[in-house]
Amino acid sequence: MAGALLLVSGLLAACSGDDSGTPTLIWYTNPDTGGQAAVAEECSTDRYEITTEVLPQDANQQRIQLARRLAAKDPDIDLMSIDPPFTAEFADAGYLAEIPQQMQQTFREQAFQSAAEAATWDDQLVVAPFWSNTQVLWYRKSFVDKAGIDMSQPVTWQQVIEAAGKNDGRIAVQANKYEGYSVWVNALIEGAGGQIATNTDAGVDAEIQIDSEAGREAADVISALASSDASPADLSVSNEGTAAATFSSDAGAFMVNWTFIWGNYGEDRLGDDIGFARYPRTVEGEESTPPYGGIGIGASAFSDHRDLAVEALECLTSPENQAINAELTGNMPSSAAGYEQPQVQKLFPADLIQLFQESLQDAAPRTLTPYWSDISGAIQSTWHPPSTVDEQTPEESAEFIRDVLDGRSLL
């Protein structure tokens, strides 16, 4: 019995704070290399301490773990790092504490447009944008010189596929059956002026728009790459890591990938052979819409320290702390003010930092809907493997998404 009492006492102390009575806010974070823990320490005050607990590596597993505990109204979650595609789901379920209007305004004004958009549901900013990510087109300088393609001008997917195919080069993408493939499909459709779904406020009755001219333009790009000599052998299982390996191989020509990939190649940068440009256009003459990724921080509606957790958002997502996180993790700030911090300016060449910011300003978040997990799963089921994608794929995927949302089909 004494042991049991000691155990209970210890658990209560862990939930409530230290012996001084200072509350402890527990921040559930995605795995990183120490950035969020450093920011938590930076934002701990005499009024509360912030500690971190690390979620699983996989974003879907992060969502599942948090959703299960929040559905049970677990009071021991105070703060959460949330992947953008799941923000609407958490907000719609009532899992997130309301952010005061003045704080919402501050966060909106501070963030890049895409970051603010990804943090908003039902006209309310429901998480505080923390770090933001986008993709650019990486290319091997020696290859484009050989192929004779002018990378100072915007390029289309068809141009880079043709250039790589004719010159024994490979294009590295993310086309495994996972969320990264949905990111690519979404960027291609948005780049053609379309959307996967609209009227998402209607929940399962959202209008599925993937069966459109923009959807067919996206399918054309994927089909063209999959059937060309530019396709890497591992296309159907490719992810961010395998794409990096393809790009660094002798046949590496082009790659779309996130900002952090720059650091994967050390100081040598493949013998100073890495160039960068804006994400390729889906349609000639129409500006591309690069993918958007990142993390927003939400306060739990069920926290025993809800007001303090909401208050802490301001410090956690300040430009200075976005910069601390960027320096330790390579995950870039969600605001222009964060990019202006001296340690961030040292992370990348000035023209690459400028490209990141321009891309973030125009980036397209994935469809904001509480049902993104279902929609994304249906896309992965109907667009994978890439070699099967054709002009019928958008129509087939629209029908399957509708069936899944209406409960007639299972993923």
Residue 118, H or E segment: helix 113-118
* Burial class, 293, CB count within 10 angstroms (exposed 0-12 / middle 13-18 / buried 19+): buried
Question: Residue 68 above 90 pLDDT?
Answer: yes
pLDDT band at 142 (very low <50, low <70, confident <90, very high): very high
Residue that the structure tokens 């447009």 belong to: 113
87 contacts 298 by C-beta, under 8 angstroms = yes
What pLDDT score was predicted for residue 59? Answer: 85
Q: Which residues contact 88 (CB under 8 A, 6 or more apart)?
A: 121, 200, 368, 369, 370, 372
pLDDT of residue 6: 38
Task: Write the DSSP string, 231-267.
Answer: S-TTGGG--HHHHHHHHHSTTEEEEEEEGGGGGGGTT
Is 50 exceeded by the pLDDT of residue 51?
yes
User: Residue 317: which pLDDT band, with cuts at 50, 70 and 90?
Assistant: very high
313 neighbors 53 (Cβ within 8 angstroms): no
- Report the run of H or E that residue 275 belongs to, with start and end: strand 274-277
pLDDT digits (tens, 9 = 90+) for 235-264: 999 999 999 999 999 999 999 999 989 989
Buried b (16+ CB within 10 A) or exposed e, 186-225: bbbbbbbebbbbeebeeeeebebbbbbebbbbbbbbbbbb
pLDDT at 20: 62
**pLDDT tens, position by position, 294-309:** 999 999 999 999 999 9
- Amino acid at position 142, single letter: S
CB of 129 closer than 8 Å to CB of 115: yes
Residue 364 pLDDT greater than 70, yes or no: yes
| pLDDT above 60: residue 137 | yes
**Cα–Cα distances in angstroms (integers) from residue 345 to residues 77, 113, 259, 348, 363, in the given order:** 34, 21, 14, 7, 21
Total-model pTM: 0.91
Q: What is the pLDDT of residue 19?
A: 57
Give residue-wise pLDDT tens across range 87-96: 999 999 999 9
CB 113 within 8 A of CB 335: no
Query: Do the Cβ atoms of 137 and 256 come closer than 8 Å?
Result: yes
Read off φ and ψ for residue 277, nearest 5 degrees: -155, 170
Q: Please, what is the average pLDDT of the chain?
A: 94
Model confidence at 60, pLDDT cuts 50, 70, 90, reads confident
Cβ neighbours of residue 231 under 8 Å, at least 6 residues apart? 170, 171, 225, 386
pLDDT of amino acid 21: 85
Share of residues in the chain with pLDDT > 70 (%): 95
Q: Give me the pLDDT at residue 18, please.
A: 53
As a whole number, mean pLDDT of residues 184-195 equals 98
